[in-house]
A and B are shown apart, each in its own frame.
Chain A
Amino acid sequence: QVQLQESGPGLVKTSQTLSLTCTVSGGPINHGSHYWTWLRQPAGKGLEWIGHISRTGSTKNNPSLKSRVAMSIDMSQSQFSLRLTSVTAEDRAVYYCARAVRACCDKSSGNFYYYMDVWGTGTTVTVSS
C-alpha cells in the first residue's frame, strides 16, 4: 500500500530556510485525484495545514504562511518538497506529509469528497538561534 516518508534536517537556524522532502512509495505520485500535502503540529498544539500540490504543480497554501511557503513535486523521484523561508521559533513542530484524495461524490449534495487518507510518520524540526 502507499507509504509516505518525510526527510530533511531536524535543526534549522532562525531566519534560514526549512527544506523537507516526502518520498512516496507503493503507489503513483501522478494520479490526477491526489494532492500531496504538508501539515505540521507544534508541541502541545493542534494540527495545522500548510498546503498541497497537485501533479501539475498547482498549489494551494495556508494564507497564514503563504508568502513563506513554496512546494514542488518531482514525479521522476516520486517526491514532493516543502520550503519554508525565514523560520522562527514558532515554526518548531512535527511536520507531516500526507496524500489528499479528491473523490466523487456526496450523494445528497453532489460535492466531491476531499480528505487526507495516508500520512507519513512525521519528522521533528527544531529551530535554534
Chain B
Amino acid sequence: QSVLTQTPSSSGTPGQRVSISCSGSRSNIGSNDVMWYQHFPGTAPKLLVYGSNQRPSGVPDRFSGSKSGSSASLDITGLQSEDEADYYCAAFDDGLGGHMVFGGGTKLTVL
C-alpha cells in the first residue's frame, strides 16, 4: 500500500482536460514539493513536474502541476493518444529520517 494515494485509473477523450490527484499527509506533500512522472511500461519513467509546479525543459505546457495543503494534482490539457501511460506522484516524507514516497500510480486511458 502506497503512502501517497492516487486514483488507480482515469480516462479522457482526445482534446479533453484530465486531472490526476495525489493525496498525502502533513509529513510529505504538506511539507515538501511534489514530483510527477510519466511511465510507459518497459521504459524509464520521465519527469514531468518537479517543485510541485515546475516543468523541466522539453515537457509540453499541456502538463501542469499544482499543490494545495497535503494534496497535489497533475493537469493534462489537450489530451493526446500518446498521453496514455501510468502517472506517478512522489514527494519526500520527513518521517523516519526522511525518505521519498510514491503514489500507487494512475493508469490514464485515452478513449
Contacts and interface: CB of A to CB of B under 8 A. Distances in A.
Interface stretch (A26-34, A82-90, A119-127): A119-127
A75 interface: no
Interface residues on B, range: 20 to 34
A96 B101 CA distance: 15
Contact of B33 (A111, A117, A121): A111
Contact of B99 (A62, A115, A121, A122): A62
Interface in B40-55: 42-47, 50-51, 54
A114 B92 contact: yes
Nearest to A51: B99
A63 B97 contact: yes
A81 B27 CA distance: 29
B104 interface: yes
B2 interface: yes
Contact of B90 (A49, A113, A119): A49
Contact of A46 (B42, B51, B98, B105): B105
Interface residues on A, range: 20 to 34
Output the residue of B51, B88, B92 with the most chain A CB within 10 A: B51
A60 B33 contact: no
B26 to A, nearest CB: 15
Nearest to B39: A47
A115 B42 CA distance: 21
A120 B44 CA distance: 6
Contacts of A120: 44
A48 interface: yes
A73 B33 CA distance: 27
Interface of A: 45-49, 51, 60-63, 96, 106, 111, 113-117, 119-122
